[in-house]
């Protein structure tokens, strides 16, 4: 019945669309940008199915340029957006039947293109739809390429029997997290390469409507993926990450992970009593908040880019086996130094880990009270200026291979001896490139010229 209806609709549209070569001659010379704008305007009131038929039966046959421009509208029928059924009217339609109809219409529109699913299951009363969604996708298992889900995390510990072999990227926003949330249902995506998990917070707790809710920690237990290369975890500030499941997850994908992002303002750590995790292929890592502490318990032999945001440098501890020998770019954003702003043995632990860095970026919040941002910036510059005693071979104490230094403080003036610190930095490292948005009040014109002549830029 469904196929007959689709065939009838296709024939009706084909009869309405008649393309004559003589009539199309003037429009063949129109630019593709204008054609795309025309398509967008013409199809605003159409659903995805009718858009696909119009483009296939008429527009794509005008000329090669028209066909290329029409292909730019492909996301209109390859992106399946699933939401809970509307309650308008007396009867609520069956959720599985609505989704099944929508999926098959998209497949009929784009039979040879990969599909992308976006499902916002924001109604807690329809939570079971998460369990039913994967079998519906399994009716055309080879068609899916990406999955974007937003759902309640009350009960996600179910085994999905569906097998979706071509899904390579998945994004999950999980609300109402509970300790039982272990993302086991993702086992139906064995070839996943990119996984992004966001654990939401209080702003999504309208269903309970309570003033205070104790958030359970995140149990980051993931199923086995054959080639997971990119993992991103972002948690709510009041949500903790269980340490041992996190370590097991990192250890499970130690041979495949290439990009790792851990954004956690709650508590996160790796067990100190267990051996360090060796991430053999990881070359890009972004840490925020308490996740910055994990750097001391990871062995990263090929890491090239490291970004640390809102962490505590005094908690970093170096170990000879953890030295980042291939690290080239290091970015420190609003990192906490010692309480008095003086760099001591604590910060040198990080320098020992990152001794081969060539590009260092330090970003401070210039609006911090009592000049904390300026104090931190000046302390770091002074540390890069110090030299070893003659008996130790001379040369810079830290980061001897540093080629460029970028200092950003939102344009606030740094007073005191900051100019002297930069002058000393240029004196010790004559070829270093300095880029900053600061107004260095006590750096004279001669030093400005010297900095510019040495290859740096101070503005």
Domain ranges of the chain: 1-73, 358-459
Q: How confident is the model at residue 302 (pLDDT cuts 50, 70, 90)?
A: very high
Do the beta carbons of residue 165 and residue 144 sit within 8 Å? no
Task: Please tell me the predicted confidence (pLDDT) of residue 17.
Answer: 46
Q: Which of 348, 268, 284 is nearest to 316 (CA)?
A: 348
Task: Please tell me the predicted confidence (pLDDT) of residue 167.
Answer: 95
Task: Please tell me the predicted confidence (pLDDT) of residue 85.
Answer: 57
Per the DSSP assignment, residues forming a β-bridge with 46 are none
Task: Please tell me the predicted confidence (pLDDT) of residue 279.
Answer: 92
Q: How confident is the model at residue 256 (pLDDT cuts 50, 70, 90)?
A: very high
d(CA 39, CA 48): 13
DSSP H or E segment with residue 264 = strand 259-264
Look at residue 68 and give its three-state secondary structure: helix
Q: Which of 16, 93, 6 is nearest to 59 (CA)?
A: 16
Lowest mean pLDDT among 153-157, 248-252, 270-274: 153-157
Instruction: Report, as an integer, the average pLDDT of 407-420.
Output: 65
Task: Please tell me the predicted confidence (pLDDT) of residue 112.
Answer: 79
Phi, psi of 409 (to 5 degrees): -135, 30
d(CA 455, CA 459): 13
Rounded to the nearest 10 degrees, how much is the dihedral formed by the CA atoms of 326, 328, 333, 339? 60
For residue 106, CA distances in Å to 70, 71, 101, 365 come to 16, 15, 9, 48
Does residue 283 carry a pLDDT above 90? Answer: yes
User: How do residues 179-210 score in pLDDT, each as one tens digit?
Assistant: 767 788 888 999 999 999 888 754 444 433 34
Residue 178: half-sphere exposure toward Cβ, Cα within 13 Å: 9
Q: How many Cβ atoms sit within 10 Å of the Cβ of residue 97?
A: 11
For residue 403, CA distances in Å to 75, 354, 395 come to 44, 14, 15
d(CA 98, CA 324): 52
d(CA 376, CA 421): 12
Better-scored residue on pLDDT, 261 or 370: 261
Instruction: Report, as an integer, the average pLDDT of 431-439.
Output: 72
Instruction: Report, as an integer, the average pLDDT of 399-419.
Output: 72
Largest CA distance in the chain: 91
Q: How many Cβ atoms sit within 10 Å of the Cβ of residue 208?
A: 9
Instruction: Report, as an integer, the average pLDDT of 82-101.
Output: 63
User: How do residues 114-139 score in pLDDT, each as one tens digit?
Assistant: 888 888 776 555 544 677 788 888 99
Q: How confident is the model at residue 416 (pLDDT cuts 50, 70, 90)?
A: low
Q: Which of 87, 56, 88 is nearest to 73 (CA)?
A: 56
Task: Please tell me the predicted confidence (pLDDT) of residue 105.
Answer: 77
Look at residue 137 and give its three-state secondary structure: helix
């Amino acid at each position: 019945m469904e196929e007959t209806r689709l065939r009838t609709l296709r024939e009706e549209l084909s009869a309405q669309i008649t393309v004559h070569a003589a009539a199309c001659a003037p429009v063949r010379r129109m630019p593709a940008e204008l054609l795309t704008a025309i398509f967008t305007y013409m199809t605003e009131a159409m659903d995805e199915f009718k858009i696909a038929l119009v483009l296939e039966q008429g527009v794509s046959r005008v000329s090669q340029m028209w066909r290329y421009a029409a292909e730019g509208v492909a996301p209109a029928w390859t992106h399946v957006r699933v939401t809970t059924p509307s309650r308008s009217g007396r009867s609520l339609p069956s959720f599985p039947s609505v989704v099944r109809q929508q999926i098959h219409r998209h497949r009929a529109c784009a039979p040879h293109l990969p599909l992308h699913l976006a499902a916002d299951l924001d109604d807690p009363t329809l939570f079971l739809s998460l369990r039913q969604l994967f079998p519906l996708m399994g009716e055309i298992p080879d068609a899916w390429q990406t999955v974007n889900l937003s759902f309640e995390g009350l009960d996600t510990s179910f085994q999905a029997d569906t097998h979706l072999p071509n899904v390579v990227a998945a994004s999950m926003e999980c609300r109402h997290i509970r300790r039982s949330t272990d993302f086991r249902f993702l086992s139906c995506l064995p070839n996943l390469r990119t996984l992004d998990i966001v654990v939401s917070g209080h702003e999504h707790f309208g269903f309970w409507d309570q003033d205070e809710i104790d958030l359970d920690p995140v149990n980051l237990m993931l199923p086995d993926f054959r080639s997971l290369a990119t993992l991103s975890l972002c948690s709510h500030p009041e949500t903790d990450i269980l340490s041992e499941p996190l370590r097991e997850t990192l250890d499970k994908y130690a041979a495949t992970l290439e990009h790792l992002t851990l954004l956690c303002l709650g508590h996160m750590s790796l067990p100190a009593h267990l051996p360090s995790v060796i991430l053999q292929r990881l070359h890009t890592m972004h840490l925020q908040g308490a996740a910055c502490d994990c750097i001391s318990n990871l062995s990263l032999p090929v890491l090239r880019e490291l970004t640390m945001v809102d962490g505590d440098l005094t908690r970093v501890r170096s170990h000879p086996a953890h030295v980042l020998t291939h690290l080239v770019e290091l970015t420190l954003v609003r990192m906490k130094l010692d309480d008095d702003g003086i760099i001591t043995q604590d910060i040198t632990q990080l320098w020992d880990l990152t001794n081969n860095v060539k590009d260092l970026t330090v970003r401070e919040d210039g609006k911090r009270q009592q000049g904390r941002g300026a104090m931190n910036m000046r302390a770091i510059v002074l540390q890069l200026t110090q030299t070893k005693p003659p008996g130790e071979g001379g040369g810079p104490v830290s980061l001897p291979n540093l080629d460029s230094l970028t200092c950003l403080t939102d344009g606030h003036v740094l007073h005191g001896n900051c100019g002297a610190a930069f002058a000393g930095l240029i004196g010790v490292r004559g070829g270093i490139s300095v880029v900053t948005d600061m107004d260095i009040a006590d750096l004279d014109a001669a030093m400005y010229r010297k900095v510019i002549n040495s290859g740096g830029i101070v503005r």
